Amino acid sequence: MGNGLACGSLRVVCFMSAAAFSMLIPFPALGASPLPAPAPRGVVTTSPAVNTPASVPREAATTSPAVSTVATTTSQPQATPGPQPIGSAPASVPIRRSSGSTGSSGSTGSGVAPVPAARSNPSASLIALGAYIDSAPEYNTLPAYTAAVGTSPRILMWYRNWGHGDTSSDFTPADLDVAYRNGAMPMITWQPLDGWIASADQPTYRCTNIARGDFDPFVTTWARAAKTYGKVFYLRLAHEMNGDWYPWGTAPGNANGNAPADYVAMWRHVHDLFQREGVTNVRWVWSPNAESAYARFAPLNQLYPGDAYVDWVGMDGFNFGAGSGSGWRTITQIFGPSYDTLTAMTTKPMMIAEIASGEQGGDKAAWITQGLLTDLPSRFPRVQAVVWFDANREADWRVNSSATSLTALSKVAKSLTYQGRLP
């Protein structure tokens, strides 16, 4: 998901940037009423129209103690296009999101392999628990999240857009430093779109345009900046590509006429530009949306760039709950079918790059504890990292949407199982 997404039916949403919005309404105290939903997920950008107090520090250095490192394999020394921090232009990308997965995998177009009985690598038994925290790291929202949960996230994920042609699309080392100072691995979701345009209909960012080199100067600038930065960070380029709610989407009927082969060519081209610049500190994360029967999807096996171009495979999925069309769904129902498809395609390490649950229609606290402490470790042994989407969007996904859900997530974060770290 990203900021600016709308789920269910395609709709345009105009909004203040989530980054600016969070400056007006801080992380609420326990028992506080849910915030009015800011921009849907995905296209986070900063709005020049919102006055942000200059005195607010970027972050607080609440480093967490060192813990075990999650084992991983890398495709080869690679570079990553520089993601762009959440906070650029106030806009949203309309989205037709999946409401979770039913028992079927939807239109996967590929076979399903048996689920491994145990984790493939014993040293990967610990899972790294991270978070997307609304407006972090650009604004000072990380300390409040850490204080509420009781521990700092092991991964800090945020979004950067390619447009609007101002500094909001620049590679920003200070944002990555915030993550490192707080004991987290940076992961940037890099979005080829203009955040000022509230639509997936952005032909400028058609996959074929990127693959033929229209954005080579921009991407090369990112690659050089990433190389200069030197420290490892994870780059999640053009996520949820199997849907139709982003300019790079490839599902049937997508706005820009992208075919799966176009997406693969685009990904490989961007990746190759980083390699050409000698970037070795970027870890590439390929992250489709979990498939379901509630939306049309392009086949995953036609979208995978190949093991030589990918370091990690991710999945995004949410329990939308009552009123979503899919109803209340467990983690196994949401991710099971896609996980089976992906584990048949590659042996790369896996993560759940976006996950959360709403409150309506079930017990969110029980969903968190059962799903993350029991179902995920046993049913999804290849998953070595999980990133919670902490924002108020289509539903109140925040960990403190209720006192009980916060208690549940805090229990997960402090458990031995979730003391892993990304390498």
DSSP track, 150-209: SS--SEEEEEEES-SSSGGGS--HHHHHHHHHTT-EEEEEEE-S-TTS-SS--GGG-HHH
DSSP H helical ranges for 230-368: 260-276, 331-345, 364-368
Mean pLDDT computed over every residue of the chain: 78
Residue 175 lies in a domain: yes
pLDDT at 120: 40
Nearest 5°: CA angle at 45, between 210 and 291? Answer: 65
Does 134 have pLDDT greater than 80? yes
> For residue 3, is it within any domain?
no
In which domain, by residue range, is 194 found?
Answer: 18-51+60-418
316 assigned to some structural domain: yes
Predicted pLDDT of residue 164: 74
The answer to the question of residue 423 being in a domain is: no
151 assigned to some structural domain = yes
Confidence of residue 124 (pLDDT cuts 50, 70, 90): low
Does a cis peptide bond (omega within 30 degrees of 0) precede residue 173? no
| pLDDT tens digits, one per residue of 48-72 | 222 222 322 323 333 333 333 344 4
CATH number of domain containing 401: 3.20.20.80
Instruction: Mean pLDDT check: name the lowest of 78-82, 194-198, 227-231, 339-343.
Output: 78-82
Average pLDDT estimate for 87-96: 31
Percent of the chain with pLDDT over 90: 65
Strand partners, 156: 131, 186
In whole angstroms, how far apart are CA 74 and each of 81, 187, 202, 347? 16, 16, 33, 11
Within-domain flag for 5: no
> Of the given ranges (119-123, 225-229, 292-296, 354-358), which has the lowest mean pLDDT?
119-123
Question: Which residues make beta-bridge pairs with 392?
Answer: 396
Question: C-alpha distances in angstroms, 378 versus 89, 256, 320, 382?
Answer: 41, 40, 23, 10
pLDDT band at 39 (very low <50, low <70, confident <90, very high): very low
- Could you read off the pLDDT of 277-306 as tens digits, one per residue? 999 999 999 999 999 877 789 999 999 999
At 72 the pLDDT is 40
pLDDT tens digits for range 144-170: 999 999 999 999 999 999 997 666 789
Q: Quick one: pLDDT band at residue 1, thresholds 50, 70, 90?
A: low
Query: What's the gap between Cα 360 and its chain centre?
Result: 23
Which of helix, strand or coil describes residue 2? coil
Q: The pTM is what?
A: 0.76
Q: How many domains does the chain have?
A: 1
Per the domain annotation, does 13 fall within a domain? no
Are 384 and 421 contacting, i.e. CB atoms less than 8 angstroms apart?
Answer: no
Q: Are 97 and 6 in contact (CB under 8 A)?
A: yes
Is 9 part of a structural domain of the chain?
Answer: no
Q: How many helices (H) and strands (E) does the chain have?
A: 10, 8
